[in-house]
Amino acid sequence: MDRIHITGGVPLHGTIPVIGAKNAALPLMAASLLTEETLTLSNLPHLVDITTMANLLAQHGVELSMNGALPGGGCDGRVLDLCGRAVANTTAPYDLVCRMRASVLVLGPLVARFGQARVSLPGGCAIGTRPVDLHIKGLEQMGARIELNEGYIEARRSGRLKGAQIIFPQVSVGATENLLMAAVLAEGETILMNAAREPEVCDLAQCLVAMGARIEGIGTDTVRIQGVERLRGARHGVVPDRIEAGTYAVAAAITRGAIELTGTRPELMVATLTCLSECGVRVEPTDKGVRINAVDADIVGTDIMTEPYPGFPTDMQAQVMALMATARGAAMITETIFENRFMHVPELMRMGAQINIHRASSAIVRGVPRLSGAQVMATDLRASVCLVLAGLSAQGDTIVNRVYHLDRGYERLVEKLAACGAHIERIRD
């Protein structure tokens, strides 16, 4: 298994281009199941999770072709045509779903268009039990009969799904996306209340509108969908990745450097940028995005609590904890979205961080002047990148094991950081 070797202590300086969001691209790809016509997605990131979703859709019968012509010939693979004309198989098998939870996003589109779907239950994962009960209950409210058989969700409906009023007891990004995709082809009106408002959900809704869906209230917690009989093809550019951008913003802060993030939309990452400003980092808008300037900054501990959008994102919690570990004073970090999302804490402590966890959901981080390099590993994507960030600021050498987690969500991470002066390399085994 590949590892990453970092020699820390170098302030990062330079420019990092931000790619399309993985968490937007995955549901957008699943939306191709809703129509016989071609959906063209641009600004796609090159990531293992995108390949997993492409393989899943291909085995359903979606025809995929990579585009994006390069000036000298060839293609950059950032533009993907997906055509759901010949979809024949409505089963999403265990061996693909178990690799990535977001595979469950094919459930809503398959039942909506074909009246049936058999999708493996995703099972537990490193950051908690993460059930899919809200996806299932919502589809039942829309008239689907659902049974759980041999580890599979089996959904059936003769005729179109029926519009329903669905009140989510808690905000769920995935359930909102799945039911949105189901509702666009249902008969009558569906109202999703307490819906997720994440930019990735809005991106999906906007793409569905371009495909002919009738949706009101995009960006609010009450989304009204008037079902239509069929959708058409469309072209859509994936929204920039606010978590990738936030991660590199923390890289600038933790090394006391300065990085311009281009191709990003700062208005989509207000909670992260506000947190950095409160810590003492200068956040400067530029023509192309935003500049994060921490040169000579006196970074002070700042409390954060994760919340659904527009609150502070759970996917930035681990990265900010690494920053707080080197800040002046203490910070209280409270995780409210997932029940097991402090897996990075013991590894940060092996690097010299001082952290106490309270009741599994809060952590008090007492900043130390300098972390020290160590061999570390992590069990999920954001926890892994938090250890890379810690390694960039630590004294001495850090080896981050199990790099495959990073490949799921960060494109060319090593190259992007090295281009800003980081002493970082991938060791291939």
Residues 151-170 that bind ligand UD1 (CB under 6 A): 170
Binding mask 273-312 for ligand UD1 (x = CB under 6 A): ----------------------------------------
* Interacting residues of 20 by C-beta distance below 8 A, sequence separation 6+: 42, 43, 44, 45, 78, 237, 238, 239, 240, 241
Choose which of 50, 142, 166, 175 interacts with ligand UD1 (CB under 6 A). Answer: 175
C-beta of 159 vs 169, nearer to ligand UD1: 169
Helices 173-183, 22-30: inter-axial angle, 10-degree rounding: 30
Looking at 53-61, 129-137, 248-256, 369-377, which segment touches ligand UD1 (CB under 6 A)?
A: 129-137
Nearer to ligand UD1, 256 or 341 (CB): 341
Residue 128 engages ligand UD1 in binding (rule: CB under 6 A): yes
Contacts of 287 (CB under 8 A, 6+ apart): none
**345 vs 383, which CB is nearer to ligand UD1?**
383
Closest C-alpha to 23, from 241, 170, 176, 197: 241
Q: 152, 248, 312, 338: which one contacts ligand UD1 (CB under 6 A)? A: 338
Find how far residue 100's CA is from the centre of its chain.
12
Q: Which is nearer to ligand UD1, 87 or 271 (CB)?
A: 271
Binding status of residue 361 toward ligand UD1 by CB under 6 A: no
Measured CA angle at 78 (ends 219, 49), to 5 deg = 70
Distance CA 199, CA 241 (A): 9
CA triplet 357, 361, 364: central angle to 5 degrees? 40
Contact assessment for residue 57 and residue 64, using Cβ atoms and an 8 Å cutoff: yes
Minimum CB separation from ligand UD1 for residue 427, in Å? 27
Closest to ligand UD1 by CB, 134 or 186: 134
| Residue 315 within binding range of ligand UD1, rule CB under 6 A | yes
User: Cα separation of 185 and 137, whole Å?
Assistant: 18
Residue 125 catalytic?
yes
Nearest of 3, 78, 65 to residue 32 by alpha carbon: 65
Query: Residue 132 interacts with ligand UD1 (CB under 6 A)?
Result: yes
Q: What six digits make up the tokens of 13?
A: 């300086």
CB of 312 to ligand UD1, least distance (A): 11
Q: Which of 3, 5, 130, 412 binds ligand UD1 (CB under 6 A)?
A: 130
Residue 102 near ligand UD1 by CB under 6 A: yes
Q: Which residue has the tokens 């900010």?
A: 320
Shortest Å distance, C-beta 339 to ligand UD1: 7
Strand partners, 20: 240
Asked if 400 and 6 count as a contact pair (C-beta separation under 8 A), the reply is yes
The secondary structure of 301-319 as a DSSP string is: ---EEB-STTSB-GGGHHH
Q: 126: closest CA among 390, 347, 312, 395?
A: 347
**Quick one: 83 or 153, whose CB is closer to ligand UD1?**
153
The correct pick among 78, 99, 101, 408 for binding ligand UD1 (CB under 6 A) is 101
Helices of type H across 286-379: 317-324, 345-350
Which CB atom, from 315 or from 411, has the smaller least distance to ligand UD1?
Answer: 315
We find the least distance from the C-beta atom of residue 128 to ligand UD1, in angstroms, to be 6
Q: Which is nearer to ligand UD1, 23 or 43 (CB)?
A: 23
Q: What's the min distance (Å) between Cβ of 385 and ligand UD1?
A: 12
Tokens of 12: 């990062």
271 vs 242: CA distance, rounded Å: 11
Q: Is residue 336 a contact point for ligand UD1 (CB under 6 A)?
A: no
Is there binding between residue 52 and ligand UD1 (CB under 6 A)?
no
* Rounded Cα–Cα distance for residues 161 and 141 (Å): 9
As a whole number of angstroms, the distance between CA 327 and CA 15 comes to 24
**Window 191-210: contact mask with ligand UD1 (x via CB under 6 A):** ---------x----------
Among 118, 135, 197, 242, binds ligand UD1 (CB under 6 A): 135
CB of 336 to ligand UD1, least distance (A): 9
Applying CB under 6 A, among 174, 199, 289, 301 the residue interacting with ligand UD1 is 174
Helix, coil or strand: residue 284: strand
* Given 75, 83, 125, 275, the catalytic residue: 125
Count CB-CB contacts under 10 A for residue 270.
Answer: 13
**How many amino acids of this chain bind ligand UD1 (CB under 6 A)?**
21
Interface residues with ligand UD1 (CB under 6 A) are 23, 26, 101-102, 128, 130-135, 170, 172-175, 200, 314-315, 337-338
Catalytic annotation, residues: 125
